[in-house]
């Protein structure tokens, strides 16, 4: 993706989030130069990859296959392993109308996916087969706002604004906005986008950025390059 396109997506996404009354944390608006100047005190932000994230999954078609994310808070894998400490994470995301987030699951993370406003959030669901792949036959059992739901394999779960679904590591899922763009909340156990995303098809989690202009904000995938001690 070109940096100019990423910058446009960030501006549009920020405006969309604000339109629902969601207030971003102050660190969201630090400039790249400010972040470089304060790299020491921002160590946790860098290590836990808090901040902006725009991905086209390496396919170059953001409008058709992509997702906008902002990680607001995130725990630590060491805490998760010990069973105490900061065991949770929170994201705010935007799934555009008919924009696919591809079929995937997690080995560790459990998550609540919440429609915070906009259109209908549609999820295609499967359960994990014994070999780790997709079970094309087994029903899928999930909880939607604490109420049990049972769906046939590959069925579509549609969430209106205010509704949510709890997904466990054995749940394969893809999702998209239906009817309009959707603001999505995610509350989960510790999030690890480097190692805990298992995609059905070989695909990249982060985009390769072509630097055609200066970044408005750094993406989490920029941190290792831009925020050297």
How far apart are alpha carbons 82 and 97 in whole angstroms?
40
Task: For tokens 């060491």, name the residue.
Answer: 78
Q: 108, 81, 123: which is closest to 191 by C-alpha?
A: 108
pLDDT at 229: 67
The DSSP symbol for 37 reads: H
Q: Which domains does the chain have, with CATH numbers?
A: 3-226 (2.60.120.10)
pLDDT at 105: 97
Could you read off the pLDDT tens digit of each residue along the chain, which spans 229 residues? 999 999 999 999 999 999 999 999 999 999 999 999 999 999 999 999 999 999 999 899 999 999 999 999 999 989 888 999 999 999 999 999 999 999 999 999 999 999 999 999 999 999 999 999 999 999 999 999 999 999 999 999 999 999 999 999 999 999 999 999 999 999 999 999 989 999 999 888 888 899 999 999 999 999 999 997 6
H or E element that contains 93: strand 88-95
């Amino acid at each position: 993706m070109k940096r100019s396109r990423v910058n446009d997506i960030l501006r549009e996404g920020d405006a969309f989030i604000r339109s629902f009354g969601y207030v971003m944390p102050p660190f969201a608006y630090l400039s790249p130069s400010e972040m470089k100047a304060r790299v020491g005190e921002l160590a946790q932000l860098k290590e836990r990859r808090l901040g902006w994230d725009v991905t086209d999954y390496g396919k170059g078609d953001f409008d058709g296959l992509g997702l906008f994310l902002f990680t607001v808070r995130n725990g630590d894998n060491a805490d998760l392993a010990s069973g105490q400490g900061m065991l949770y994470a929170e994201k705010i995301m935007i799934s555009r109308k008919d924009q696919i987030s591809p079929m995937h699951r997690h080995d560790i993370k459990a998550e609540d996916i919440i429609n915070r406003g906009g259109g209908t959030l549609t999820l295609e669901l499967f359960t994990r087969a014994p070999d780790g792949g997709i079970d094309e036959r087994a029903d899928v059992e999930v909880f939607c706002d604490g109420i049990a739901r049972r769906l046939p394999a590959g069925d579509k779960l549609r969430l209106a604004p205010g509704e949510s679904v709890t997904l466990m590591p054995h749940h394969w899922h893809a999702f998209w906005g239906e009817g309009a763009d959707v603001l999505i909340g995610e509350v989960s156990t510790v999030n690890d986008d480097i190692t805990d995303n298992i995609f059905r098809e070989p695909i990249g989690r982060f985009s390769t950025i072509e630097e055609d202009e200066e970044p408005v904000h750094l993406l989490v995938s920029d941190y290792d390059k831009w925020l050297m001690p």
